[in-house]
Amino acid sequence: MGPLVVNEIITENANLFLAFLIGIGFGFVLEVNGFSSSRRLAGMFYGYDTTVLKVFFTGAIVAAVGLLFMSLFNWIDLSYIYINPTYLWSSLGGGVIMGAGFILGGYCPGTSVCAASIGKLDAMAFLGGIVIGIFIFIEGFPMWEGFYNAKFLGSPLLSDIFGTSRGLITFLIILVALGMFWVGEWAEKHFARDDYKLNQK
């Protein structure tokens, strides 16, 4: 039963090696599907290319349904799955900052690494901005430590908050995803750009 490391089915070193291989595979999939293009990523916010929305909603659905089925067959113990603790205000603030950077730069941290690895200068500049931001955050942490730790909510689950089952929450997320797929298709038709070419130099 998973998680594999917690139940000593594989060693921590084997786990890191598997993570390395999965990371390479993830980067490869990002690249071959055009996620190293800032045009594709920015297109999400301007409506002319909603591939990002579709792919990540699909990933979330597959992961959620997969975990539920593996739990049903006792292949994984969900109580061992780590959930990041929620600090409400810093999460909202960080989301705004990252979202603004995403729109302005056309990359998120992961896709910027993917694009920089194939030599894209704009992605390298974006990574430089990430490093500068990390430095400022660390050096100035005492000034905003109170805000960072404010409104600690623990590690809540939507199923706990709404007092329902994980299966129902997953079903509702699937419905939301289907709705967003429709919105994405609608947006691509209404905000299409004649000059948009993914591999344009």
Instruction: Specify if 39 maps to a domain.
Output: yes
Q: How far apart are CA 80 and CA 122, in angstroms?
A: 40
pLDDT tens for 21-30 read: 998 898 888 8
Instruction: Specify if 42 maps to a domain.
Output: yes
pLDDT tens for 129-174 read: 999 999 999 999 999 999 999 999 998 888 888 899 989 999 999 9
**Number of domains the chain contains:** 1
- Look at residue 101 and tell me whether its pLDDT is greater than 90: no
Mean pLDDT over 10-26 rounds to 90
Burial of 9-29, coded b for 16+ CB within 10 Å and e otherwise, reads: eeeeeeeeeeeeeeeeeebee
3-state secondary structure of 106: coil
pLDDT band at residue 198 using 50, 70 and 90 as cut-offs: low
Instruction: Specify if 8 maps to a domain.
Output: no
**CA neighbor of 113 nearest in space, from 21, 23, 53:** 23
3-state secondary structure of 87: strand
Range of the domain at 158: 13-190
**CA neighbor of 99 nearest in space, from 36, 183, 143, 91:** 91
Instruction: Specify if 196 maps to a domain.
Output: no
Instruction: Specify if 5 maps to a domain.
Output: no
pLDDT at 201: 44
At 119, list the tokens: 């030599």
pTM of the model: 0.77
Instruction: Specify if 70 maps to a domain.
Output: yes
pLDDT at 87: 93
Burial of 163-178, coded b for 16+ CB within 10 Å and e otherwise, reads: eeebeebbeebeeebe
Instruction: Specify if 63 maps to a domain.
Output: yes
Instruction: Specify if 197 maps to a domain.
Output: no
pLDDT at 180: 93
